[in-house]
A = this chain, B = another copy of it.
Amino acid sequence: MVRPIILHSAHPLKASCKKCSLSGLCLPLAVSDEDLGRLEDIVLQGRIYNRNELVFEQGQTFRSCFAVRSGAVKSYVISENGEEQVTGFYLPGELVGLDSMGSDRYACTAQALERTSVCELPVTNLEVLTQKLPGLQHHFFQRMSQEIQNSHHLSLLLSKHTAEERIATLLLSLSRRFGRRKLSTTHFNLPMSRIDIANYLGLAVETVSRVFTRFQTQRILKVHGRGVELLDLTALHAATQIAVPKRNLG
């Protein structure tokens, strides 16, 4: 199905986090300039994966976390029955594999959605470094707790929101994350397929498609394949809110 064509360079370059354009988003923001060298010492840079290639696979021995440098990655878990649940999309500056920290095996599979470059953080070295740098340990606690919070918000989305609200929320999340990298918050390409979106949001592909066209007829956005243009951010934000108040409120 998915052929893992390993392409990463045999001799990874020594990382230069300091010069990386993502240093304000990624791990460097957690360590002082003088300690940055120690972080660079353990980072394996320059791994490149082609579209659909697996960065790691659920059940494999857990060795490393990965920071996305360019491109995009999706993560998904596979249950005993073989069902897949997409659990997250990771853009440049974001960390993949935090849900396996401290485990001996990867708890999910990470797959490149397009040609993607990542920086690898071998856990053995990483845990030694977090042991020495309190700020880095604190930062990892923060990132991991953020990951828990993200997942809780996904649960809220799945359990209490309509198809339109789910999709509007995802689009605004992507928009915000593109904005963090000084990219356009209104014009961007979706790194993932409709199938991935549907799976992530607990919907049928057909529903995702229908909602996109509905938003388009409402002049909220334009879509051409994976390209989206958010025409009315206010309306899109309004579409994330629950239409008819439900009883469930405390």
In contact, B102 and A143 (Cβ under 8 angstroms):
yes
Question: Which residues 147-201 of A have a CB within 8 angstroms of B?
Answer: 147-149, 151-156, 158-160, 198-199, 201
A148: chain B residues at CB < 8 Å are 98-99, 107, 144, 147-148, 151
Given A99-B152, A202-B159, A83 and B138 touching (CB < 8 A)? no
Interface membership of A81, Cβ < 8 A: yes
For A1, list chain B residues within 8 Å (CB): 250
| A128-155 to B contact mask, C-beta < 8 Å, 1/0 | 0011001001111111111111011111
The interface of chain A, by Cβ under 8 A from chain B, is 1, 77-79, 81-85, 87, 98-103, 107-108, 127, 130-131, 134, 137-149, 151-156, 158-160, 198-199, 201-202, 241-242, 246, 248-250
Contact partner, A145, options B144, B153, B158, B250, Cβ 8 Å:
B144
Q: Are A149 and B107 in contact (CB under 8 A)?
A: yes
With both chains docked as a complex, state the minimum distance between the C-beta of A210 and any C-beta of chain B, in angstroms: 16
**In whole angstroms, how far apart are the Cα atoms of A141 and B101 in the complex?**
6
Complex CA gap A22/B96 in Å reads 33
**Residue from A142, A156, A199 whose CB has the most chain B CB atoms within 10 Å:** A156
CB pairs A–B below 8 angstroms (28 shown)? A1-B250, A77-B149, A77-B152, A77-B156, A79-B153, A81-B241, A81-B242, A83-B156, A85-B155, A87-B155, A98-B145, A99-B145, A99-B149, A100-B145, A101-B145, A102-B139, A107-B148, A127-B134, A131-B131, A140-B141, A141-B144, A147-B148, A151-B151, A151-B154, A155-B155, A158-B159, A159-B201, A199-B248
On chain B, the residues within 8 Å of A159 by CB distance are 85, 158, 199, 201-202
Q: Is the CB of B82 within 8 A of A249?
A: yes
Give the CA-CA distance A147 to B108 in the complex, in Å: 14
New A-B contacts (7) at CB < 8 Å, excluding given A84-B249, A102-B138, A147-B148: A77-B156, A98-B145, A100-B145, A103-B145, A127-B138, A144-B145, A198-B248
Flag if A248 contacts B99 (CB, 8 Å): no
Contact (Cβ within 8 A) A154 B155: yes
| CB neighbours of A147 from chain B (8 A) | 148
The answer to whether A145 and B102 have CB atoms under 8 Å apart is yes
